[in-house]
Chains A and B, each alone.
Chain A
Amino acid sequence: MARFRGRGMASVNYPIGMNLGGDPSQALIHSNPDGKFTVALSAIDLGQGMKQVTRQVAAETLGVPIEDVYVDTADSDTGPHDMGSFASRGTHRMGNAVIAAAREARGVLLEAAAEELEVNAADLVTDGKGNIHVKGAPSRSITVRATAQAAQFKQGKTIAGRGIFLIPLSSVDPETGEMNPNTAFAHACLVADVEVDDETGEVTVLGMNSAYELGRVINPKMVEQQLVGGAWMGISHALYETPEPYYPNPDHGPRDFNEYLMPGPGDIAPYSIAILERPAPDGPFGGKGPGEMCANPVLPAIANAVYNAVGVRVNDLPITPEKILRGIRANGGAKPQARRGGAL
């Protein structure tokens, strides 16, 4: 009885947003009298960071410090319509709606500043730190705060903006499947190293390496959070989870986390990620978003690594010890395959 090491890989792409389009997102932005902005959305933060992504996109577009922007989700009385947080659409669709709204609000902000400075609004720039000044002449400046106060109490202007982003709905050809699906795709490749015990059938994930291309990264910490969390889910999907372990037999429904298996802290594998950024032509600042795809390459990479380790192909998820042991027995013992490159 022995433990066998194996290595597998998988490469994938992922469509960003509802496949056929027709999924609008809207945003409203307005300023307090002292130049602090509120973004009102009905987008949902599931923990993935919707509020922070839209906050950074709004601050970038408005040209104001991040501390001067807060995002309010989600109240159907104040936040305009959004399709929802699913289909990896949040960053792309809502990011673009927020840009549209912020650009409109920025337009009013610069107009108000131009009136105070007695210059042309087209000659004004923001410094991202709370000031507006004439391009090339930093001494001719006014703060965002003073501008907002003047707009509100002197000029009678509302520093506000509204935005929507919509990719029109595509139809689908019944005979060929021709359609206009998503406009943006993210990409990934992942290598998994595993160890398989031919006595117990248990798989230990020793480590993973991946490369993800996600368009422009809006917040690297949140990308890391998504990719690491999603990889855990990928390990869980590959090796542990299902309420119906003998599907299509519907028996064995689990009732709680004692009966529904998931990897624990001891099963988490070291994970090293490289990020590539090829901006999406229609993404917010080129962003696509890591969204759903971060679990996907893990499943086949682990399945391929198990084959590489002991020569057993498990085509039915999850890859349980029982399936591995049955495969080893059918093959007359473990059949390790050729090693692939530098081991851990």
Chain B
Amino acid sequence: MMEFRKDLFSNERDDDLNVVGKGVQRQDAPGHVTGRSPFFDDHAFEGLLHLKVVRSPHPHARIRRIDISAAERAPGVKRILRGADVPVNRNTLLSLINFGKDDEPTLAVDKVRYIGEPIVAIIAESEAQALAARALVRLEYEPLPAVFDVEEALKPGAPVINDIYPGNYFEYHEKYDHQKLRFGDVERGFAMADHIVEDRYQMSPIEHAPTETNGSIAAPEQNDRFVVHSCAQGLFFSLGTAAKIVNLDSNRLHFIGGTVGGGFGGKVDSLTEPLSILGAMMTGRPVRYVLDREEEMLYGSPRGAERIYIKDGIARDGRILARQIRSYFDAGAYTRLSSYAAIKCTAHLPGPYTIPNVASDIYVAYTNRCPSTAMRGFGITAVDFALEVHMDKGAEACGLDPMEFRILNAYRDGDMKAHRRVAKNTALIECVQVAAEKARWPISDEARRQSSLTGGGGARAEIPATPIDENGRINRPETRGGRPTQTLPAGTMRIPLTKQPIMEGSTENRPKAPAVPQYEPYRPAAAAPPPPAPAYTPPPPSAPPPAPAPAAAPSASPAPASQHGAHRFSSVFGTRRR
């Protein structure tokens, strides 16, 4: 059941739009409910070949020998690919945005670093023949010691998992073994606190479990190009990744997708496209590479585990004075996207609360498990679990109701966030109030009177003096427990502000944008049917209605010069003619 609370923030919104806000049926609904929407695997090709990979049975091992002679002679086998056949056999996904070093082979060459790592690809006339030939590939390994715990992996002397990152951690800013967040002085905050609440949290890995498993079909287009039917979550992201690995210009790849049977983050990694394309290049025939359910579950890259330590210092009245966090993302054997999630997590801390002293150290650690990747809430879901269970404990420690404790500490418009930017457009307090009301969870009149719009800013908008440190230098684990090296003065900002785009439809802090299309019911001379009733009738507002909009609606005139961002492309607007 879903209801709207149109009374809240009504003066920041014009509810006069034509089709935005209506529960119109999706254009793809009939195809989906009749089972006729085409997905990547619904494309038939004559002469389609099937690709299957041989995977490592060891979590960590040196590959001594790969013998494909028997597999090559197996019925139906057209081609066998090894690491040496992959044009660019080392990549990292975020190289497309210049973040991190290439660290992952498409097909393992000298070492395997997790159970399930692909080593050899077999292309055969049928799936059954590819599977039969897979059993004939003879591999000899020399097992190596494996590490599965993130904190064990970071200890000096742990076996090196990913040779590109020999300390078993992602390297931030070519300087540190973790990403830092420093805002105010947490030690001082703890010293002033009446309650210290500390705990450790663990999110285990989670499988995306999409209905449609990862897969792709690549086919020569007879014009020196290859068409690729893909279930990628980012079409050009996958195209760019594949083009780099198979070493083709991007315009020689024609990716088709867009209708995907569930992703949840598990279809960002381009797990199959490079090998499908390479197979098509090598055989001149269409090649299909689809993970079966067991492969998807075990080797389709899960949500990574996270271990999170939180320490809060809380005053007697319930105000959180300091919050310190140390956490470890388990990347598995290769980076994929974990390095980015740690930064997103850093930006998210300390959660939607205004806390004057915050510090965090976020590590991305390599272990000998399947590389983890993005999943719904990447960088946020696990830490939100930890933070919100910790908030429950904090409320208990100072004898406050959990709702009241959150409203007391909630961030508000104008507050400074720990990453040194001002909070705007906040609404946590209102969500807590409405949820309490819905659940008939009693809160005090004072808590009910609070608002995200007031009470923020002022002293809460200040950037405090902040001790900073150089702990955790790359290759120097002994520096992890060091002391602060200097104190940044209050108000310090070192990163330039991003120009903020302003879009239509919001009236916060400014007059109504003049370029929103205005709807004026069309009334021809003959009687016309009345306009349809809106699908959702807002409940009567509890507060007095806002001042009425000006009677003369502004017309769709040229965007004013102060607008930028997407508006700058609407150049035609300004050139009217008679």
Chains A and B come from one and the same complex: yes
B209 within 8 A of A: yes
Q: How far is the CB of A296 from chain B (nearest CB, A)?
A: 5
Which residue in A97, A176, A271 is a CB contact (below 8 Å) of B181?
A: A176
Per the 8 Å Cβ criterion, residues 258-280 of A in contact with B are 260, 262, 270-280
Which residue in B3, B25, B268, B440 is a CB contact (below 8 Å) of A86?
A: B268
When C-beta atoms are compared, the residue in chain A nearest to B368 turns out to be A250
When C-beta atoms are compared, the residue in chain A nearest to B176 turns out to be A174
Query: Do residues A163 and B566 form an inter-chain contact, with CB atoms below 8 A?
Result: yes
Query: Do residues A304 and B2 form an inter-chain contact, with CB atoms below 8 A?
Result: no
Known: A19-B340, A42-B235, A76-B239. A292 touches B377 (CB 8 A): yes
For B122-166 the 0/1 string (1 means CB < 8 A from A) is 000000000000000000000000001110000000000000000
Which residue in A211, A257, A270 is a CB contact (below 8 Å) of B435?
A: A211
Query: Do residues A46 and B440 form an inter-chain contact, with CB atoms below 8 A?
Result: no
- Complex: A4 Cα to B424 Cα, angstroms: 41
For A149-172 the 0/1 string (1 means CB < 8 A from B) is 000000000000111111111111
Q: Which residues of B contact A178 (CB under 8 A)?
A: 419-420, 493-495
Per the 8 Å Cβ criterion, residues 64-100 of A in contact with B are 65-66, 70-71, 73-77, 79, 81-87, 96-97, 99-100
Query: Do residues B434 and A295 form an inter-chain contact, with CB atoms below 8 A?
Result: no
Q: Which residues of B contact A129 (CB under 8 A)?
A: 522
Query: Do residues B236 and A260 form an inter-chain contact, with CB atoms below 8 A?
Result: no
Known: A178-B420, A187-B431. A73 touches B520 (CB 8 A): no
Chain B interface: which size bin?
35 or more
Q: How far is the CB of A95 from chain B (nearest CB, A)?
A: 9
Which residue in A63, A87, A213 is a CB contact (below 8 Å) of B18?
A: A63
Which residue in B97, B257, B419, B438 is a CB contact (below 8 Å) of A74?
A: B257
Q: How far is the CB of A225 from chain B (nearest CB, A)?
A: 9
A212 within 8 A of B: yes
A31 within 8 A of B: no
- Complex: A13 Cα to B427 Cα, angstroms: 9
Query: Do residues B389 and A276 form an inter-chain contact, with CB atoms below 8 A?
Result: no
A284 within 8 A of B: yes
Q: Which residues of A contact B28 (CB under 8 A)?
A: 45, 51-52
For A40-55 the 0/1 string (1 means CB < 8 A from B) is 0111111101011001
- Complex: A293 Cα to B344 Cα, angstroms: 14
Query: Do residues A60 and B389 form an inter-chain contact, with CB atoms below 8 A?
Result: no
A106 within 8 A of B: yes
Query: Do residues B12 and A279 form an inter-chain contact, with CB atoms below 8 A?
Result: yes
- Complex: A181 Cα to B500 Cα, angstroms: 11
- Complex: A262 Cα to B209 Cα, angstroms: 10
When C-beta atoms are compared, the residue in chain B nearest to A120 turns out to be B576
Query: Do residues B204 and A245 form an inter-chain contact, with CB atoms below 8 A?
Result: yes
When C-beta atoms are compared, the residue in chain B nearest to A133 turns out to be B522
Q: Which residues of B contact A213 (CB under 8 A)?
A: 427, 430-431
Query: Do residues B572 and A84 form an inter-chain contact, with CB atoms below 8 A?
Result: no
When C-beta atoms are compared, the residue in chain A nearest to B299 turns out to be A253
B317 within 8 A of A: no
Interface stretch (choices B63-71, B475-483, B503-511): B503-511
B449 within 8 A of A: no
Q: Which residues of B contact A222 (CB under 8 A)?
A: 23, 26
Per the 8 Å Cβ criterion, residues 336-392 of B in contact with A are 340, 343-344, 346-348, 351-352, 360, 367, 369, 374, 376-382, 384-389, 391-392
Q: How far is the CB of B229 from chain A (nearest CB, A)?
A: 11
Q: Which residues of B contact A81 (CB under 8 A)?
A: 236
Which residue in A22, A42, A221, A241 is a CB contact (below 8 Å) of B207?
A: A241
Q: How far is the CB of A319 from chain B (nearest CB, A)?
A: 10
- Complex: A136 Cα to B523 Cα, angstroms: 10
Query: Do residues B20 and A76 form an inter-chain contact, with CB atoms below 8 A?
Result: no
B263 within 8 A of A: yes
B91 within 8 A of A: no
Q: Which residues of B contact A286 (CB under 8 A)?
A: 12-13, 503, 505-506
When C-beta atoms are compared, the residue in chain B nearest to A101 turns out to be B569
Chain A interface: which size bin?
35 or more
Q: Which residues of A contact B23 (CB under 8 A)?
A: 219-222
When C-beta atoms are compared, the residue in chain A nearest to B402 turns out to be A9
- Complex: A42 Cα to B236 Cα, angstroms: 8
Query: Do residues A83 and B441 form an inter-chain contact, with CB atoms below 8 A?
Result: no
For B285-312 the 0/1 string (1 means CB < 8 A from A) is 0000000011001100010010000000
Q: Which residues of A contact B502 (CB under 8 A)?
A: 281-282
Query: Do residues A176 and B466 form an inter-chain contact, with CB atoms below 8 A?
Result: yes
Interface stretch (choices A111-119, A194-202, A324-332): A111-119
Q: How far is the CB of B95 from chain A (nearest CB, A)?
A: 14
Known: A174-B180, A180-B498. A165 touches B565 (CB 8 A): yes
Q: Which residues of B contact A244 (CB under 8 A)?
A: 204-205, 305, 369
Which residue in A175, A307, A342 is a CB contact (below 8 Å) of B180?
A: A175
- Complex: A79 Cα to B235 Cα, angstroms: 10
Per the 8 Å Cβ criterion, residues 210-268 of B in contact with A are 232-237, 239, 253-265, 267-268
A334 within 8 A of B: no
B168 within 8 A of A: no
A301 within 8 A of B: yes
Query: Do residues B17 and A60 form an inter-chain contact, with CB atoms below 8 A?
Result: yes
Known: A110-B556, A300-B384, A315-B201. A278 touches B8 (CB 8 A): yes
Query: Do residues A317 and B439 form an inter-chain contact, with CB atoms below 8 A?
Result: no
Query: Do residues B343 and A20 form an inter-chain contact, with CB atoms below 8 A?
Result: yes
Q: How far is the CB of B556 from chain A (nearest CB, A)?
A: 7
Known: A15-B348, A247-B202, A315-B389. A167 touches B498 (CB 8 A): yes
B501 within 8 A of A: yes
B570 within 8 A of A: yes
Known: A15-B347, A44-B263, A315-B202. A218 touches B21 (CB 8 A): yes
Which residue in A74, A224, A300 is a CB contact (below 8 Å) of B385?
A: A300
- Complex: A75 Cα to B297 Cα, angstroms: 28
A203 within 8 A of B: no
Which residue in B200, B384, B392, B553 is a CB contact (below 8 Å) of A12?
A: B384
Query: Do residues B237 and A83 form an inter-chain contact, with CB atoms below 8 A?
Result: yes
Query: Do residues B27 and A52 form an inter-chain contact, with CB atoms below 8 A?
Result: yes
Given A176-B183, A276-B427, A281-B500, 20 further pairs, Cβ under 8 A: A13-B352, A13-B428, A21-B498, A42-B258, A51-B27, A74-B257, A84-B234, A131-B522, A138-B522, A175-B182, A176-B468, A181-B344, A187-B428, A191-B438, A243-B205, A244-B204, A255-B294, A281-B424, A315-B200, A317-B385
Q: Which 9 residue pairs are nearest across A and B when measured between Cβ atoms? A: A84-B234, A342-B440, A74-B258, A285-B505, A300-B388, A177-B181, A73-B258, A100-B566, A211-B434
| Residue contacts A-B, CB under 8 angstroms, 23 given | A60-B517, A76-B239, A96-B503, A111-B577, A125-B517, A128-B18, A131-B522, A133-B522, A172-B173, A177-B181, A179-B421, A180-B498, A209-B435, A211-B431, A242-B205, A257-B293, A276-B8, A278-B12, A283-B505, A299-B385, A300-B384, A303-B385, A303-B392
